[in-house]
Structure 1
């Protein structure tokens, strides 16, 4: 399922992935939206085809509109290929 989201005034389309425990934002989108990464956390994730990807930090408590509803979301930066944003199960209302 795809949902419209707005981060820092820029409209994106999020892929909703109920199998993801975290939210992911492409490194390119993270730079474009000028989101600051918190700490030096590094993650390694395994994607559906079995490939392992290295994540490049976390942006914490970023305000986002999912449709018209406000949320505060942590994002893990990763090279997502054709998607800018994957919305997993780790999001909550402010």
Structure 2
């Protein structure tokens, strides 16, 4: 009798990754449009039930993807996507 062990690789996503993915999906679906201001850090913390560092890391991820831009003192806004960014957003949500 041969025992077969199947190995599953589970990728663990950080809270920041999940928050960024959710916000990106909301932007793609039109909940937030180009130029719209995202909720403040405290509002996002309450919405997602996470700490400030998770929200800040998620915003950094979105900034690095070119999805949002941070205006010091004003807030975080949905960025105008370049053609490459638009394709990346659509590809990652597909």
TM-score normalised by L of structure 1: 0.27
Whose Rg is larger?
2
Q: Which has the higher contact order (CA 8 A, sep 6+)?
A: 1
